[in-house]
Structure 1
Amino acid sequence: MKQGVHWSVRGVAGWAALMLLARCGGQTSDTAGNPRCQESSGLEPRQVDLAPTDDAYVEEGLEEPRSGAERKLVADNLSRRSAFLRFEVPAQPGPVRRATLRLYALDGSTDGPRLYPATTDWSEDSLTWSQQPSVTGGPLGDVGDVPHGSWVEYDVTSFVTGSGPYGFALITESRNGVDFASKEHVRLEWAPRLILSVEAPAPEDCAAHP
């Protein structure tokens, strides 16, 4: 007998009826042989790629907003400059299992900046040194040597846990600063990204029977 196929014979009003119960990949057949779908109860990983809603940097002593038009985000301690990013995370179909902030280094550093959580009640159009976002906690990550033209990743899983606004501050004590590409850079593929790995319900195992 073929594996996975079960037969049962039952007498009905003097007639012998034969019923086939077939199961294959989550699909079942009714007594008329029509396929039925079974919804999966499992979860599968799904990647969500988010661009920042706002990003800019500020410099000590400069109170004129940069209007978010700069193509770079600068963090260095030589001229006291710090960079900030803001993301809006929409509702997700399942829990966030991993969150990573990816930045592209236009100009590297021997000692990259620390990443901190920051307030979100700001706009890149009005950001200045005296009106910069506040840091709201300890460092989320730190990087050492940052080669020129390389990707830098910060694991922010402990911070980004669901939907809502999220702010980040890039601050360094190094006088050898780093320049990251901003969302205004002409090379769009170098723009900052918040990448989420989300557990979402797996799709049905077969097409639904009309």
Structure 2
Amino acid sequence: MKQGVRWGGRVVAGWAACMLLTRCGEAVNGMEDDPRCRESSGLEVRELALAPVADSYVEEDQGPTVHGTERKLVADNLSRRSAWLRFEVPEPPGPVLRATLRLYALDGSTDGPKLYPATTDWTEDSLSWTKAPELTGGPLGDVGLVPNGSWVEYDVTAAVAGSGPQGFALVTESRNGVDFASKEHARQELAPRLVLTVEAPTGMGCGARR
């Protein structure tokens, strides 16, 4: 996990129910107010974490089989498997400064997958190798060694321009595949998250609870 990222709250639908953290100096939600925040120009930086509305993986040899209810997302070139995620991004409260896809590796790899933008016209109960979405552009990022039990981050700022559906695909050329936790995993804190860093109007002050 990269330094400087703080987490709190819970994730449900919509911006009002997203994890919402305010950063100004060292002030964070629920902590002591910082005088530097009160003297700010009326803008603050927030991190908004979105859960996927759908995620799954497909496997070539299994043709029409769907895996939408499984607790893992698999990308593996040995068995020709690739993983897919779909998010619904509401209208942000301000400009998106950065967008990051965070995934937790249950079973790592010596060479992690590439991440691509993808079409979004699919559901978990329809996604299969024979009905796989399409890639819509070149790779957004690539990772090398992925240790077991580690967080992986992809910078997807270039792909998240605003509100609406957002799709991603994890594809690897490595025969040493990786398993990421899916949104169905029993430990929800390990589920995928699309984290948006936005600049928004100041609400109740940096240290105020929301």
| CA gap 1:201/1:127 in 2 versus in 1, 3 angstroms | same
Partner of 2:80: 80
Aligned to 2:146: 146
Q: Does residue 130 of structure 1 match 2:124?
A: no
Deviations 1:11-61, CA, capped at 9 Å, x for gaps:
xxxxxxxxxxxxxxxxxxxxxxxxxxxxx8531101111000000000002
Structure 2: distance between partners of 1:96 and 1:81: 32
Structure 1 residues 204, 72: CA separation in 2 closer, same or farther (over 3 Å shift)? closer
Higher helix share: 2
Cα RMSD (Å) of the superposition?
1.6
Letter in 1 for 2:93: P
Residue 68 of structure 2 corresponds to which residue in structure 1?
68
Contact 2:58/2:67 (8 A) holds in 1: no
- Normalised TM-score (structure 2): 0.76
Asked if 2 retains the 8 angstrom alpha-carbon contact of 1:85 and 1:167, the reply is yes
Give runs of aligned pairs for residues 92-171 of structure 1, distance below 5 A.
92-171=92-171
- Could you tell me which residue of structure 2 aligns to residue 89 of structure 1? 89
Are the equivalent residues in 2 in contact too, given 1:107–1:179 (CA < 8 A)? yes
The reply to whether residue 191 of structure 1 matches residue 191 of structure 2 is yes
Distance 2:41 2:188 in 1: 38
Matches of 2:191 and 2:204, distance apart in 1: 35
Q: Match for 2:74: what amino acid?
A: V
Say whether the 8 Å CA contact 2:106–2:150 is kept in structure 1: yes
Letter of the 2:159 counterpart: F
Give the superposition deviation at 1:92: 1.1
CA distance in 2, matches of 1:67, 1:81: 11
Structure 1 counterpart of 2:173 = 173
C-alpha separation in 2, matches of 1:98 and 1:161 = 10
Contiguous gaps of at least 5 residues in structure 1: 1-39, 206-210
User: Once the two structures are superposed, what CA deviation does each residue of 1:122-166 show, in whole Å capped at 9, x if it has no partner?
Assistant: 111111101111000000000000000000000001111211100
CA distance in structure 2 between the aligned counterparts of 1:67 and 1:108, rounded to whole angstroms:
20
For residue 105 of structure 1, give the secondary structure of its aligned residue in structure 2: strand
Q: For 1:63, give the aligned amino acid.
A: G
Aligned to 1:7: none
Q: Which runs of 5+ in 2 are unaligned?
A: 1-39, 206-210
Tell me if the contact between 2:86 and 2:165 (Cα under 8 Å) persists in the aligned partners.
Answer: yes
Q: TM-score of the superposition, structure 1-length normalised?
A: 0.76
Instruction: Tell whether 2:53 aligns with 1:53.
Output: yes
State how far apart, in whole Å, the 1-side matches of 2:115 and 2:153 are. Answer: 10
CA distance in 2, matches of 1:90, 1:204: 22
SS of aligned partner of 2:62: coil
- Structure number with the higher strand fraction is 1
SS of 2:61 mapped into structure 1: coil
Equivalent-residue separation in structure 1 for 2:157 and 2:96 (angstroms): 8
Q: How many pairs align?
A: 167
How far did residue 66 of structure 1 move?
2.4
* 3-state secondary structure, aligned to 1:93: coil
Distance, in Å, in 2 between the alignment partners of 1:67 and 1:58 is 7
Identity %: 74
SS in 2 for 1:196: strand
